Structure 1
Amino acid sequence: MTSSPATGARSGQRPHVVERALELARTGLYRARWDISRALEKEGYTIADVSHLDGPSMSRTLTTLCRQARRPKAAA
């Protein structure tokens, strides 16, 4: 099987929930972990999968990435 450049997942397999959550956080479309959790559930991840994001460190990491991705970029 080949790896997907965007996710590192093998063809036909979706990425691990933590990997996917980090991808979503970096898009700038979400404000915090709660928004990402809802998006993951809509993508078909189970509540048990999404529970991997419940710890304070992961929650903080995702929220920080969301804020950084939503921050306006400085003009060059």
Structure 2
Amino acid sequence: MTQFRLHPVERAFELAKTGIYRSRSEISRAMEKDGYTMADVNQLEGTSLTRQLNGLCREAQSRLTKTAA
């Protein structure tokens, strides 16, 4: 049986929205642990994508902080 796996960029955005990760680099490490290859993770290296992922991480963490308060 073939297991479906999200495209690396799609998975990175999904992880960023969880509020668990603080940055694109933390997301990259988590994806490597989940079995994504270095080639997959290297797709997240661009300046624009890094900025977007870091922003989503901050927003998600902010939401979690407000919810917990």
Q: TM-score, normalised by structure 1?
A: 0.79
Deviation at 1:13, TM superposition (A): 1.1
Runs of 4+ in 1 over 6 A off after TM superposition: none
2:18 aligns to what?
27
* Rg comparison, structure with higher value: 1
* Structure 2 portions without partners, runs of 5+: none
Q: Are 1:46 and 2:37 an aligned pair?
A: yes
* Structure 1 portions without partners, runs of 5+: 1-10
Q: TM-score, normalised by structure 2?
A: 0.87
Equivalence map 1:1-76=2 (5 Å): 12-71=3-62, 72-73=65-66
Cα deviation digits, residues 12-49 of structure 1 (max 9, x gap): 21000000000000000000000000000000000110
What root-mean-square deviation, in Å, do the aligned CA atoms of Structure 1 and Structure 2 show?
Answer: 1.3
**AA in 2 matched with 1:51:** N
**AA in 1 matched with 2:13:** L
Distance 1:34 1:51 in 2: 11
More helix by share: 2
Identity %, equivalent residues: 56
